[in-house]
Copies of this chain bind each other. A is one copy, B any other.
């Protein structure tokens, strides 16, 4: 599409290329401050390069944002779908609802680990959902829809009596919990708040809550 140098030379260079530093720094700053609150000067300053580099490599701030976002989107999506798939046909015979949930939740929260390369991506997605700067179908078509489809399909394999509309609603109920709990956790942490939860505790709670929630959505009560 565009004809900017992008990553022309192979990444064999020992030192990090300007292009990658821009992507890394902008990922962190966009996540921490948001798109508009992050200036090109902030980014290039922290990336130790000239202002013109953004336009030279990406052709503008918007394109930098888009490329930064796309960079991790595919990998993250595939990781989630793959984890769903594995949870369904892991034990061959009877996959459990709880196993499916635990697998998805764990994978979903993995980027929050402190050492994770995409630990800023979570905040970035939260921002993009509330205040989109990408053409909406990018995130919808390349993330939400595929994952939702995989999950809904897996869920209905585990619980055939659940109708599809309910299954999709359950998916959003689950994702809503995940996004919100992380947000609240961070909000309470920034304050000198006493009440906190460990990651382990959060996962366990969401698993239990969602197992109960999904079971309750069955037409009649069954196992």
Contacts and interface: CB of A to CB of B under 8 A. Distances in A.
A interface bracket (residues with beta carbon within 8 Å of B): 35 or more
A149 to B, nearest CB: 11
Interface stretch (A8-16, A53-61, A70-78, A130-138): A130-138
Copies in the assembly, this chain = 2
B212 A214 contact: yes
Contacts of A205: 166, 169, 173, 217
Contact of A173 (B140, B169, B172, B209): B209
Interface in A103-142: 126-127, 129-131, 136-137, 140
A127 B129 contact: no
Nearest to A180: B176
Interface stretch (A17-25, A41-49, A88-96, A182-190): A182-190
A144 B175 CA distance: 20
From A34, A126, A137, A212, name the one whose CB has the most chain B CB atoms within 10 angstroms. A212
A28 interface: no
A210 to B, nearest CB: 6
Interface string A183-204: 1100110110001010001100
Nearest to A202: B169
Interface of A: 34, 36-37, 126-127, 129-131, 136-137, 140, 144, 165-166, 168-170, 172-173, 175-181, 183-184, 187-188, 190-191, 195, 197, 201-202, 205-206, 208-217
